[in-house]
Amino acid sequence: MSDAIETDRPFDAEVGRLLDLVVHSLYSDREIFLRELVANAADAIDRRRFLALSDESLALPAEAGIRIRTDHSARTLTISDDGIGMSEEDLASHLGTIARSGTRAFTETLADAKPEERPSLIGQFGVGFYSAFMVADRVEVISRRAGSDAAYCWSSDGRGGYRITPATRDAAGTDITLHIKSDATEFLDAHRLDTIIRKWADHVSVPISIERDGKFVAANAGAALWRKAKADVTEADYEDFYRHLGHMFDKPWATIHWRAEGAVDFAALLFIPGASPFQATAEDRDSHVRLHVRRMFITDRAQLLPSWLRFIEGVVDTEDLPLNVSREMLQATPVLARIRKALINRVITELKSRAKDEDSYASFISQWGPVLKEGIYDDVDHRTDIAGLARFRSTRNAELTSLDAYVARMAEGQSAIYYLTGEDHERLAASPLLEGMRAKGFEVLLLADPIDHFWPERLGSYQDKKLLHVAKATDLFEAATVDPAVTDFAAALKAALGESVSEVRCSARLTDSPAALAADAEGPDLAMQRMMRRAGRPVFAGPPALEINPAHSLILALAQRHQAGEDLADWAALLLDLARIGDGEPPADAARFTRFVAAHVAADVAADVAAQVGGA
Ligand SMILES: Nc1ncnc2c1ncn2[C@@H]1O[C@H](COP(=O)(O)OP(=O)(O)OP(=O)(O)O)[C@@H](O)[C@H]1O
Ligand SMILES: [Mg+2]
């Protein structure tokens, strides 16, 4: 027995089980059977067109296309094409052998074809056809190979086996008839079929039509605009496609159409929406740029753009992406990463050039600026580029400024880029923290978007200039000569205010206001703290410092009264409240504040009146 046969034996397969796996486990969505059958039909037409280049007798009929019709009483759905067709052997070999792809075998023969003639075919795995059995309990394929008169019918219930019998067909091509399962009646509805075609096969280059009330109606948009040369596309074509794609009614602010060749080949058509009513929301931070592989829609969830570019609509189409059998999930592949990188760089280049037209760019910024700035925080690789593309309000005037322009204007002796964050520009412009900056002639960026609380620290610096929140620029404003009475008074204020302030310090920052609040240099600034509190988040920050203006008449007067031994607890509370109001906060105790102010104003007015009466 030692001389047992040592040759490899062929694997055996439970064909019925294998088919069952393909039909029931491969695809997550039953409707894709139609995509698969249409893809096969489109491949067949492309193959015939290619072969006709060298054999005129195979030429496609003038109206070559894919026709879909349903028969409710017979419960059948038929997909017909004018493609290359299948001979008896083809039927047995291509439809009778799971995982044998006649299309891929054909593609492999094309290596020597001229690139401009070489069709780009979809089929490669040899399993798509069987998806028909997800919705059909019997499938009949009647096919006639182009160049032959003989037609055959292949039929199967997708379980036991298949049978091939002679048939007739008027012309070359293939009819695939599905006997629809009782639980798949939806696929007999022309509307439903239309929706599926528009979703998955809108840009198959072959015309697809669906029969409705006896007439065939076009179901796909056809030619993939993004695959055309730019010169062959008009502005109107782009706008139509933009509206079609994003369900938009406006015009795109920018249209970016190009074909990348090199490390990875792809065609892309991206739109930056104009004054669109649709805002990129915080809830959905994903990019929905659509990924097509050889014109077939694959997914709009491939995150082709980072979330800071999620407002961009468009399509990317590549031949280079390895798909898995179900064409659903993408394998982790460096190709996607390369495409993403190329897309980001192209968009950045476009924005840089569009930024030169200031008016138009301002409209882009008002629409998408806040989303764009998320990238300064999120995107390590492009942070500096994005910061350069962002535009800001500042204390200079109402116009927007870039960081580059800001740096170019920096005053003598100014070493940092100063900014102030808060809820809105008007309130920011009125902040007492700006008084000293104005006095020095230092411009300050006024940042009023929620994201502005986050990115400046991440960015750190721009053009080697540190970004600094004005509240933290305390060293600029150390008060040089302070009346000792004021210094004493400051200490008394701290004692009176206790834990509600971290310190009371004399500062040369203020010119008009008696007092202002400044956050701790290490922690989040006060506007940020407010925002976190409003969002119900814990705030890890100590109390703010109270800065007082040692030259202000109120401070000087109070310092004298303090020296005279007066108890100034109420005045301490008032100063803190004034500072809080200056920062956009309500007084700590509104009732006490109102009573105190009203009493003093009343006393003032009474004194005025008395003086006038006395003078008269
Ligand atoms: N309408 C058709 N006309 C001509 N040949 C067809 C048609 N439909 C299918 N075929 C042949 O049957 C084969 C099997 O089709 P199937 O969809 O299972 O695999 P595929 O298209 O090659 O690959 P994929 O799994 O990627 O779809 C095809 O490769 C093709 O040779
Ligand atoms: Mg296929």
**pLDDT reported for residue 467:** 97
Give residues (CB < 6 A) around ligand 1: 36, 40-41, 44, 81, 83-86, 94-95, 101-104, 123-129, 174
User: What's the token pair of residue 322?
Assistant: 């390895």
Residues in contact with 442: Cβ distance below 8 Å, sequence separation at least 6, in sequence order: 410, 411, 414, 418
Instruction: Look at residues 262, 343, 244, 251 and name the one whose alpha carbon lies nearest to residue 302.
Output: 343
Q: What is the pLDDT of residue 525?
A: 84
Low-confidence ranges of the chain (pLDDT < 50): 616
pLDDT at position 341 is 95
8-state DSSP, 478: B
Which residues, at least 6 apart from 560, have a Cβ–Cβ distance to it below 8 Å? 485
Closest C-alpha residue for ligand 1 atom 27? 128
pLDDT at residue 108, as a whole number:
92
Say what the pLDDT of residue 20 is.
Answer: 84
Give the start-end residues of each E strand in 72-150: 76-81, 136-144
Q: Give me the chain's average pLDDT, please.
A: 91
What's the confidence (pLDDT) of residue 120? Answer: 86
Ligand 1 geometric centre to CA of 126 (Å)? 6
Which residue has the least CA distance to atom 1 on ligand 1? 41
**pLDDT attached to residue 221:** 87
pLDDT digits (tens, 9 = 90+) for 484-503: 999 999 999 999 999 999 99
Residue 52's SS3 state is helix
Of 129, 141, 154, the residue with max ligand 1 atoms within 8 A of its CB, to mutate for a pocket test, comes to: 129
pLDDT of res. 139: 98
Q: What spacing in Å lies between the alpha carbon of 91 and ligand 1's midpoint?
A: 10
Do residues 394 and 441 touch, judged by C-beta distance below 8 A? no
pLDDT digits (tens, 9 = 90+) for 362-374: 999 999 999 999 9
Q: 42 CA to middle of ligand 2, Å?
A: 9
In angstroms, what is the span from residue 94 Cα to ligand 1's centroid? 7
Q: Which two tokens stand for residue 484?
A: 């000792």
